[in-house]
Amino acid sequence: MKATLGVENCLFPMPTVLVGANVNGKPNYMTVAWGGVMDFDYISVAIARARHTYVGIKENGTFSVNVPSLEMLAQTDYCGLVSGKDVDKGKLFENFYGTLETAPMIRECPINMECRVAHVIDIFPTHDVLVGKIVQTYCDEVYRTGGKIDWTRVQPILFTGTDAGYWSLGRRLGVIGSEGKSSNRAEGERTTWSVVPNSGTGGLLGLRGKDGFVATRENYLQVPFTLDHDLE
């Protein structure tokens, strides 16, 4: 039986990233787990207005989103514990700059995206949601397979807000758009059939399908399917 939890946001897990910005000419990073995809080339991050990093984002109109791997968990968590006002977090990493020149990125992170601020959503009491236009994305060759990002190699850090936990990525389950096709018999079935010995004709009742599916009067009359067959 389901229990009521009140108003609790459970849209987790989410990727944990390091958002970078130049603050007073120096690279600074903060840990962010409230981010998302807005479009194919737009990304969002939620940042409290009081954060030191936000000063640099407003100053330059740019920021970076760096995706750390599991081996960077300690540094990633640390960047969320201390402020750039007190600690020079730029010294924790090897920094580099790209097209924008004001959005510092972390070379140790498998993936980096440099963004230009496109829109600010300021309807929340303590933080703003920054919508950034991605101008360039960087990824080391070791984290790609066949020219595409291989997430089993990246091993991103996932965050669950309901228990303040860090998690690792599990196994890949399938490919979008194909799993439903293979499981939905109502839209048709393509399989391999064979005649059951001594079954008699009986329409299709003498056919047995792959994976043990047997045609019965009830299902073959109602379920459309394509029959591939060879006659000997």
pLDDT greater than 80 at residue 159: yes
Across the chain, mean pLDDT equals 86
Paired tokens of 73: 């968990």
* 157 and 70 Cβ atoms separated by less than 8 Å: yes
Q: Compute CA 107 distance to the chain's CA centroid, rounded to the nearest angstrom.
A: 21
* CATH topology classification for 14-167: Pnp Oxidase; Chain A (2.30.110)
Pick from 38-52, 145-159, 172-186: least confident: 172-186
Q: In this predicted model, what pLDDT tens digit does every residue of 212-225 receive, in sequence order?
A: 555 554 444 444 54
Please state the length of the chain.
232
For residue 211, what is the DSSP state? G
- C-alpha span between 197 and 185 (Å, rounded): 26
Q: With bands split at pLDDT 50, 70 and 90, how would you rate the model's confidence at 193?
A: low
Could you give the 3-state DSSP secondary structure of residue 189?
coil
Terminal C-alpha separation, the chain: 56
Q: How confident is the model at residue 208 (pLDDT cuts 50, 70, 90)?
A: low
Are the C-beta atoms of 30 and 79 separated by less than 8 Å? yes
Q: What residue spans define the domains of the chain?
A: 14-167, 179-228
The one-character DSSP state at 90 is: G
Instruction: Please say if the pLDDT value at position 47 is more than 80.
Output: yes
d(CA 110, CA 145): 13
Helices (H), the chain: 52-60, 73-78, 151-154, 179-183, 217-222
Indicate the DSSP class of residue 214.
B
Measured on CA atoms in the order 73, 106, 137, 55, is the torsion positive or negative?
positive
In this predicted structure, what is the pLDDT of residue 192? 57
Report the pLDDT value the prediction gives residue 50, as an integer from 0 to 100: 95
Report the SS3 class of residue 118: strand
Give the pLDDT mean for 129-148: 97
Per-residue tokens: 4: 């009521």
